[in-house]
Amino acid sequence: MLNKSTAAVCIGRVRRGLRLLAICGTSGALAACVQAPKDMYSWQAYQPSVYAYLQDDGADYAAQAKALEQNIEVARSSSAVLPPGFRAHLGLLYLKMGEDNKAVEQFESEKIAFPEASPFVDFLLRNASALKTQAKEPSSVESLEGAPAPGQPASPPATKHGA
């Protein structure tokens, strides 16, 4: 039941002599349990990028977006499928960078790839202007859905997020 990568780890540790048997034996048992066959999706930087975003450690949105753009090329060249959330996450990064059109494009492609995403993506498109207002780098690009730009008086009170 050893999968390829587990086997590789084991082979790489041949120098460790006797320990090898123990490691291969037990990690084989564990691999049978964790079970990592061929992935359905091409994950690449998606989860680390989400982690960086959640950590809010002054991450550079442009650099992250660029990494994900490269991931798309890699996936395309190997006919691999991008995982759920990948495109929407890239869309969020674009939104934070003020690149609204590219953001909407990614949101729409998330919906096409995964119809399950439709309700949330539609919700986002209706509320994208609100997401944008908390961008670290304020942009002068027009808000989505024709909503008034931040700073201008809006018909409903736009100060929902205080706390």
Q: Which stretch binds another protein (CB under 8 A): 29-37, 70-78, 136-144, 147-155?
A: 29-37
- Contact call for residues 137 and 97 (beta carbons, < 8 A): yes
CA distance 67 to 154: 36
* Region label for 149, one of left (φ > 0), alpha (ψ between -120 and 50) or beta (otherwise): beta
- Contact call for residues 81 and 42 (beta carbons, < 8 A): yes
- Total residues contacting another protein (rule CB under 8 A)? 56
- Contact call for residues 103 and 92 (beta carbons, < 8 A): yes
Is 10 one of the binding residues for another protein (CB under 8 A)?
Answer: yes
Is 22 one of the binding residues for another protein (CB under 8 A)?
Answer: yes
CA distance 80 to 100: 27
Q: What residues between 70 and 89 interact with another protein by CB under 8 A?
A: 83-85, 88-89
Is 163 one of the binding residues for another protein (CB under 8 A)?
Answer: yes
Is 34 one of the binding residues for another protein (CB under 8 A)?
Answer: yes
Q: Is 3 helix (H, G, I), strand (E, B) or coil?
A: coil
Give the residues lining the site for another protein (CB under 8 A).
5-6, 8-10, 13, 16, 19, 22-23, 26-27, 29-31, 33-36, 39-41, 43, 45-48, 50-51, 53-55, 83-85, 88-89, 91-92, 110, 114, 116-120, 123-124, 127, 130-131, 134, 160-163
